[in-house]
Every structure is written in structure tokens, then in C-alpha cells.
Structure 1
């Protein structure tokens, strides 16, 4: 399970670099921060249950934040 967080770190790094190339600086910084967190978690050697709980917490937080931003903050 720890390898999966390293894979998530790799893909968030790729997305962050693409955002940086596209001059989306705030988005790139968010994804670079996620990369650091995922890589750190990938090397912590936690139990599988802890990794699953952390991932579910991350998913709930990110989906709630995305839904809030797209519903209340984006101008249509």
C-alpha cells in the first residue's frame, strides 16, 4: 500500500509540472505540496489500515473542497 502513495506522488508531480508549464502557478503549488505529502506517506511504513484511512480522508476532503469551489466560487 505504501507504493501506491509513491505512485500518487509521481502523478501529482506530473500534474504539477504540467500546470507550471501552463503558467498555472497556484495549481502547480497545490500539486507540489500534495507530491511532498504523498511521498512522505509512501516512506512511513504505516499499516494498511492507516493508509486506507488516510486515503479516504484525503478523498473526502478533496471532493468536498472541489464541490464547494465549483458550486460557490466559480463564475459561470
Structure 2
């Protein structure tokens, strides 16, 4: 399970670098921060239950933030 967090770190790094190349600096910093968190978590060797709970917490926070942003902050 720890290896999966390193894989998530790789993909968030790829997205962050592409955002940086496209001059989307705030998005790039968000994804580069996520990369650092995922890689650090990947090397902590926690239990599988802890990794699953961390991932569920991450998904809850990400979807809540995305829904808030798209509903309240975006202009139509």
C-alpha cells in the first residue's frame, strides 16, 4: 500500500510540472505540495488500515474543496 502513495506522488508531480509549464502557478504549487505529502507518506511504512484512512480523508477533503470552489467561487 505504501508503494501506491509513491505512485500518486509520481502522477501529482507530472501534473504539477505540466501546470507549471502552462503558467498555472497556483495549481502547480498545489500539486507539488501534494507530491511532497504523498512521497513522505509512501516512505513512512504505516499499516494498511492507516493508509486507507488517510486516502479516504484526502478524497473527502479534495472533493469537498472542489465542490465548494465550483459552486461558490466560479463565475458562470
One fold, TM greater than 0.5?
A: yes
Report how many residues are paired: 76
- Give the TM-score of the pair, scaled to structure 1: 1.00
The answer for unaligned runs of 5 or more in structure 1 is none
**How much has 1:4 moved relative to structure 2?**
0.2
Q: Could you give the per-residue CA deviations for residues 29-53 of structure 1, whole angstroms, max 9, x where no partner exists?
A: 0000000000000000000000000
User: Normalising by structure 2, what TM-score?
Assistant: 1.00
Residue 15 (structure 2) aligns with: 15
Q: CA deviation at 1:73?
A: 0.1
Which secondary structure does the structure 2 equivalent of 1:61 belong to? Answer: helix
For residues 26 and 59 of structure 1, what CA distance do their matches in structure 2 show? 20
Partner SS for 1:44? coil
Partner of 1:57: 57
For structure 2, the residue ranges without an aligned partner over 5 or more in a row are: none
